[in-house]
Structure 1
Amino acid sequence: MTHPERPGVVAEHVVKDLVSGFGIAVPRGATTPAAEDVAATASGLTPPLVVKAYGPGLVHKSDAGAVRLGLGSPVEAARAAADIRTALVASGVAIEGYLVEEQAPPGVEVIVGAVRDPSFGPVILAGLGGVWTEVLRDTALRLCPITEDDARDMLAELRGAALLDGLRGSPAADRDALVKVLLAVGGPGGVVESLGDGFTEFELNPVICTPEGAVAVDARLLRPSPPTADARLPRPFSAWQAGDTRLPGPSPAETAETAEGGRPPRPSPAERAGRRGPGNGPQDFTRLFAPRGVAVVGASAKRPNFGNMFLAFYRAAGYSGRLVAVHPTAGEIDGVPCVPSLAGAGVDYALVAVPAERCPDVVREARGVPFVQVMSGGFRETGAADLEEDLVAAAREAGVRLLGPNCMGVYAPAGGQTFIGGRPGPPGRIALISQSGGLAGEVVRVGERRGLAFSKVATVGNSADVGPAELLRHLADDDGTSVIGLYLEDPRDGRALFEALRAVTKPVVALVGGRSAQGHRAAVSHTGAMVGDARIWTALARQTGLPLVTAQDDLIGALDLLDLHAGRDVPASADVLVVGPSGGAGVLAADALDRAGLRLAPLPGVDLGLPVGAVPGNPLEIPVGPRGRPDLVGRVVTAIQRAARRPYPDVLTHVNVQSFFTFGDSADPLLAYAHAVGELQRGLTGTRVALVLRNAEYAPPGVEDELRAIARSAGVPTYRSIEAAATAVAAAKVRDQRREREV
């Protein structure tokens, strides 16, 4: 019999004894080590019967031919056991015994499983079970522990959810019983939590759901290899109280080792990563974003390199603090004074741009420098995990916090921080945490070009020490930040990120790289990403109310809308009113909003006094153009909002910029239209207005910038396409729903 402490497969009957202790129904059954004893063992069971062999190599029993169903008597069960033994022995498979059970009646087959993700920890899965698991892959995921709402949402997400409700006259399954199974496995105090680190995979497949309840007819548990000291099956359960299946506690040697000051308790992931400030309290990142002094390591006195580039960046940005270059012999580089070492440099922030193999020694010299950023690549992202571990150890020895490696650094206009050439943009209230320095620079510069303003931007690269979760907690409490963007590939400590996202009350929106199969391979080469299943991000987003976008431009657009409307109290509703010219554009708008999960609620059923030429409906087509009244949209939307029983929380107004210059000779009517949209927003305190400038590239140079400036001054974000606007609005509505749940 498989011992619970042994790595590998735990016998099915042991796992069923475990889950039955958590209230999960399993078939009546009994075990015997010998095929000859199966008939006697099955004598108290009611046919039809099932016989299964178990042993250390039997992970997928059906594939191995170790299962027989529909057996009409104990004698027939014994013959089936003998046949199984003959087939498995011929295949070289070891058998430890046989499980005989009463066969459960047919029903809807569901899988309930759990795996341990290397970053996010335990994750529970539910889906269509049996053979459908592999054929359809119709599953939903959540991070453990789950709530009852999580369990019901998981079932509702399944494409085959209708099977549980009964089809073509078949009775509905007991969905409440299935919810209880999910909670017993993945809820607080459930199977997964009780197993701790003692499993790699856990599976009930299938759980047969009928109108009378839910029964787990198969169960599988894989233990880690080698097992960790704290990886024991929970006790007490009856089948583990005797013989080889007795559930052990800590051994006397382990108890003595701990008592004598030997092996300390296993630290949490965050503690293992050292992501704590002085005194084990939260890290204060003030000087990361506003350093009083900056040192650049790696600038050359002879040949310009990355170090010289960063010296130029700080000088061009007008950095007013102490700026020094670290060089063993030079007195100055590019007009910046030099110091021979980081030791005693008198700075808050050091930027290291030397070859990867030299970085650990440089970091060891940084004692007294609160924050060290390693720009250099060549660590875990290229397979050099040992070198990265040495770098982290060097940071621990020096008592510094490490940003990176493989990252560009920090941008904070108010604090003088930069990793981008040229003058910084104006300080704002948008923050960004990014695992890609290049992408962060693009978001900042493109965003600033569109009128966005940033408070703090941190690139973290491989996140070997300072990671997204810790920075998110800091920015959540930062008075100068109102909205936070994330670009992530591998958060390193996904569980800490999950907890931080659940705690933050400010709007957060995320772009995740590596969610596709090809993208995941690229992420592995980029930052050594370890997230095993892209669906985990969807689960995290739904559990934390995190909007996910799929493109850089959508991240910028969502940050724009969330920033401009951060203080606006908008009802949580999927309803959107779309207003603009062109019936074709309206049809395409309807398609775009549908894809974004938004709802085009019908217009109020009263006389709205619509202008001549208007085509009523939602989207609403009205004659907006160079010869139309610029305030037409404002008058129409105001009338609709007053007549609506529940005003639309979002209004998306679009205009064809090209028409103003094809059928007109001046930008003035278009600018007047933008002013009118701004006035509309000022008059609608409980509604968000977004403006779509379709075909904006047709406008003469400078006109689009002027339109954006007019709209932004009134708190209206602008977009070049209805699709981009719909994505931003959908992101805001995810935050609305979370806010409503928390009230």
Structure 2
Amino acid sequence: MWTEHEVKELLRQAGVPVPRGVRDPALAGTLRAPLVLKAAGLLHKSDAGGVRLGLTHDTLGAAVAEMRERLGDGFLVEEQAPEGVELIAGLIRDPAFGPVLLAGLGGVWTEALRDTALRLCPISESDARRMLASLRGSSLLYGYRGWPAVDVDAVVKLLMTLGGPGGLWERLELGEFELNPVIATPSGVIAVDARYLPSPRPPSAAPRAAADFTPLFEPRAVAVVGASTSRPAFGNMFLDFYRAAGTPVVAVHPTATSIGGVPAVPTLAAAEVDYALVAVPAAACAEVVRQARGVPYTQVMSGGFGEAGRADLEEALVAAAREAGTRLLGPNCMGVYCPKGRQTFVGGGVGPEGSVALISQSGGLAGEVIKVGERRGLAFSRVATLGNAADVTPAELLGWLSRDPSTSAVGLYLEDPRDGLALFSALSSCPLPVVLLVGGRSGQGRRAAASHTGGMVSDARIWQALADQTGATLVTTQDALVGALAYFQAHTPRPLADPAPTPRGLDPGERRTAGVLVVGPSGGAGVLAADAFDEAGLTLDPLPDDVLDDLRALGLGAGSSLANPLEVPVGPRGRPDLVKEVITAVTGRLPYRDVVAHVNVQSFFTYGTTADPLLAYARHLGEVRGVRVTLVTRNGEFAPPGVEDELMAIAAAAGIPVYRSMEAAAIAVAAGQRFCGGTDGTA
């Protein structure tokens, strides 16, 4: 551990203001009182009584003697900094993502308040300002109840010195590096306490040439290793899947010439394929993979490697893949799904070709997303399960998918990013919307940290920082992942298709937009919708005053106010085109980025006898132009069999995503506005 004096000399050379100080109390005569006396070599000096404030030159000697008796020799005497807002700023090396910057309210209240923000390094100046603005106590920085605002620019400069391009994070052997407190005043900042615990920098992985993953998703032929001639096995199941999908496939078996009607070859070396699926016991996998010379991609479905405590088997597997010159998917993964390439690891054939991609470290979850997603109208371009991601990583695949003309949106399910820095880079440069679902955010745990900084870094906060910095949408459930991808499938290729003309009474340069308009029956449902959209961080902007007469002319407003959410009668006896006319009237005056129309499906069958009015409503809704429309079918379980499918087909043809709850729609719309354009007008 460096001494505080050494750390402050490092800061001084980096341009960070620190107090003048001396290590020998006998030399303190050159310092201006009041003085601070500190015991050297303690991590938490305040807790041990190792800090004395407000000393004069006359009282310094007695304070030194008393502290020496309790804590031993070794001191630092400094000029006491002026009062101000106490902050913490620190760096720590996260095991997955590398250097992380933390900033927040500091001093003795650091752990009690835990009011901090995180960002992955390197940060931008915008990141630094967003960190400060996100603090619960941010008002203390910008002036509060008579207290003057601090020099926020100086705080930002300090954060950039630590975590920005070329900052200390690039030079330090982290460990942990902490400034606490930093005193912020109207005239600048000063770091009054500093500590640095070095730790050897982990070796960097050697960069690999960018791979072409087309043969992975669109192989000319596939080999399956592990099918049995005597009993059902996973290999046999995959042979059936490939036969049903019409994929050219060959089995690998030491003695058989065919298995289940599929031709067989004795070794993988004899298979002329682009993709090999290996489903044999873990101990035998490396030898099989070693035979894969000339096979661009080999997937190991088998488990029993690093996830089971057998890192040695996993290392041997990777070595075998490199020896053979094949890229390895897995181990412990289910495989690849691509309707265009007739690649599949799920039964029932392949679905329609689409533009949604998925990278998942869980094969089971990926299978669910495929089947549930296709049931809800999703159409996939590429799906890859990576399991332990011992070779091909999520970052590498995301980088390729971001350039894939077949893909317009990407979902990620991750538990261990494998190479967090590469994932950060890939997300930062990805031009597509990305929806991120993370498993184990609260369960992985972290090593005990000696400093406040390390103690306040957690898995969940790292992932949120990653999303905040890269523009990815972080969701917490599988349903939210599917829902957000459905929104992007419907709207991303045409964020505002067929744009409406400039609203009446405005010049083109005066055109403005609003956030979300909610339209549908039931005032109570509207109130709950407002709560759901507020929780998702979305703005329900008021209706423009000049549209109220138009709405009254359409029959709205009798017995209720005209507001957003807007109550519109929708049911089996209502006009099926009324909501379309209402939306057109409102957006003709004030273009909303998103319109969420909701219906109570139950009412159509409690007060009606056929699905025709509900389907007619959906058709008219599909005629709305110039705005992204989302449909919520509340109480959809009341529809007779087949009706929901027909309604979803009508909506899908019109580019309208459908949700069963306001909460699900709010999460998806928030993801869309985050990427396509938020309520503050930023992309």
Task: Place the TM-score, normalised by the shorter chain, in its bin.
Answer: over 0.9
Cα displacement (A) at 1:199? 1.8
Q: Is the 8 A contact 2:673 2:679 kept in 1?
A: no
Q: Which amino acid aligns with 1:283?
A: A
Displacement of 1:169 in angstroms is 1.7
2:354 counterpart SS class: strand
The answer for the alignment partner of 1:306 in structure 2 is 234
Q: Do structure 1's residue 678 and structure 2's residue 622 form an aligned pair?
A: yes
Q: Work out whether 1:20 is the aligned partner of 2:12.
A: yes
- TM-superposition CA deviations, 1:472-515 (whole Å, max 9, x none): 11111111111111111111111111111111112221111122
User: Which residue does the alignment assign to 1:107?
Assistant: 84
Q: Are 2:544 and 1:604 aligned?
A: yes
Which amino acid in structure 1 is aligned with residue 205 of structure 2?
A: P
Write the distance in 1 (CA, Å) between the matches of 2:228 and 2:48. Answer: 65
Match runs of 1:26-425 below 5 Å = 26-32=18-24, 38=25, 40-55=26-41, 58-73=42-57, 75-89=58-72, 97-195=74-172, 198-224=173-199, 227=200, 268-269=204-205, 271=207, 276=208, 281-319=209-247, 321=248, 323-425=249-351
Alpha-carbon spacing, 1:532–1:356, altered in 2? closer, same or farther (3 Å): farther
CA spacing shift, 1:476–1:422, aligned 2, 3 Å: same
Cα separation, 2, equivalents of 1:689 and 1:61: 59
Q: In the TM superposition, what is the alpha-carbon distance from 1:575 to its structure 2 partner?
A: 0.7
Asked whether the equivalents of residues 50 and 70 of structure 1 are also in contact (C-alpha less than 8 Å), the reply is: yes
Of the three residues 6, 10, 22, the one matched with 2:2 is 10
Matched, 1:505 2:505: no
User: In 2, Cα distance between the equivalents of 1:78 and 1:438?
Assistant: 70
Alignment of structure 1 residues 414-453 onto 2, 5 Å: 414-453=340-379
Give the CA deviation at 1:519.
9.3
Contact 1:575–1:600 (CA<8 Å) still a contact in 2? yes
1:691–1:270 CA distance, 2 compared to 1 (3 A): farther
The percentage of counterpart residues that share the same residue type is: 65
1:738 and 1:631, CA in 2 relative to 1: closer, same or farther beyond 3 A? closer
Distance 1:575-1:421 versus aligned 2 partners, 3 A rule? same
Q: SS of the residue aligned with 1:99?
A: strand
Deviation at 1:741, TM superposition (A): 8.9
Contact 1:572 1:737 survives alignment (8 Å): no
Q: Is the 8 A contact 2:444 2:459 kept in 1?
A: no
Cα distance between partner residues in 2 of 1:21 and 1:537: 33
**Following the alignment from structure 1 to structure 2, what is the Cα–Cα distance between the partners of residues 437 and 573?**
42
- How far the C-alpha of 1:412 sits from its partner, in A, is 0.4
Question: Structure 2: how far apart are the matches of 1:737 and 1:176?
Answer: 27
Alignment of 1:575-724 (within 5 A): 575-606=515-546, 607-610=549-552, 611-614=554-557, 615=560, 616-644=562-590, 647-680=591-624, 683-684=625-626, 687-724=627-664
Whole-angstrom CA distance in 1 between matches of 2:681 and 2:8: 36
Deviations 1:573-601, CA, capped at 9 Å, x for gaps? 77100000000000000000000000010
For 1:262, the equivalent position in structure 2 comes to none
Distance of 1:86 and 1:339 partners within structure 2: 82
Alignment gaps of 5+ in structure 1: 1-8, 33-37, 90-94, 232-265, 522-530
Amino acid of the structure 2 residue aligned with 1:334:
G
* Distance apart, 1:210 and its partner CA: 1.4
User: Equivalences for 1:518-533 in 2 at 5 Å?
Assistant: 533=459
Aligned to 1:62, what secondary structure does the other structure show?
Answer: coil
User: Aligned partners of 2:327, 2:514: CA distance in 1, in Å?
Assistant: 43
For residues 191-222 of structure 1, give each alpha carbon's deviation from its aligned partner in whole angstroms, at most 9, with x where no partner exists: 11232xx1211111110111221110011111
SS at match of 1:495: helix
- The range that moved more, 630-639 or 289-298, is 289-298
2:522 maps to amino acid: S
In the alignment, the residues of structure 2 paired with residue 532 and residue 401 of structure 1 have an alpha-carbon distance, to the nearest angstrom, of 33
Q: Which amino acid letter does the alignment assign opposite residue 620 of structure 1?
A: L
Alpha-carbon distance in 1 for matches of 2:678, 2:289: 42
5+ long unaligned stretches in structure 2: 448-456, 497-510
**Deviation at 1:460?**
0.6
Which residue of 1 is the match for residue 454 of structure 2?
none
After superposition, what is the alpha-carbon deviation per residue over 1:241-266, rounded to whole angstroms, capped at 9, x for unaligned?
xxxxxxxxxxxxxxxxxxxxxxxxx6
Three-state SS of the structure 2 residue aligned to 1:170 is: coil
Contact 2:91 2:177 in 1 (8 A): yes
Residue of structure 1 in register with 2:672 after alignment? 732
Q: Is the 8 A contact 1:203 1:221 kept in 2?
A: yes
Q: Distance in 1 between matches of 2:663 and 2:446?
A: 26
* Other-structure match for 1:525: none
The correspondence for 1:481, drawn from 384, 400, 407, is: 407
CA distance in 2, matches of 1:142, 1:561: 28
Distance 1:86 1:116 in 2: 37
Render the CA deviation track for 1:541-572: whole Å, top value 9, x for unaligned: 11111111111111111111111112224499
Distance 1:573 1:504 in 2: 26
Residues 451 and 375 from structure 1, CA distance in 2 versus in 1: closer, same or farther, beyond 3 angstroms? same
Distance 1:740 1:136, change over 3 A: closer
Contact 1:513 1:519 (C-alpha < 8 Å) held by counterparts: no
Distance 1:444 1:590, change over 3 A: same
CA gap 1:636/1:742 in 2 versus in 1, 3 angstroms: closer
Instruction: Decide whether aligned partners of structure 1 residues 78 and 627 sit closer, same or farther in structure 2, where only a CA change above 3 A counts.
Output: same
Give the AA of the match of 1:10.
W
Q: For residues 386 and 546 of structure 1, what CA distance do their matches in structure 2 show? A: 35
| Gap change, CA 1:730 and 1:739, over 3 Å in 2 | closer
Q: Structure 2: how far apart are the matches of 1:440 and 1:710?
A: 27
Distance 1:81 1:386, change over 3 A: farther
Query: C-alpha distance in 2, partners of 1:572/1:430?
Result: 31
Do 1:572 and 1:740's aligned partners in 2 also have CA atoms closer than 8 Å? Answer: no
Q: Contact 1:508 / 1:546 at 8 angstroms: preserved in 2?
A: yes
1:342-387 per-position Cα deviation (integer Å, ceiling 9, x unaligned): 1232111111111222222221222221111111112222222222
Shift of 1:532: 5.2
Root mean square deviation, CA, Å:
2.1
Gap change, CA 1:626 and 1:520, over 3 Å in 2: farther
Provide Cα deviations, 1:46-103, integer angstroms capped at 9, x if missing partner: 1221122323xx3333334433222222x533333333332234xxxxx5x3211011
- Once the 2 structures are TM-superposed, how far is the Cα of residue 740 of structure 1 from its aligned partner? 9.8
TM-score (norm 2): 0.92
Amino acid in structure 2 at the alignment position of 1:164: L
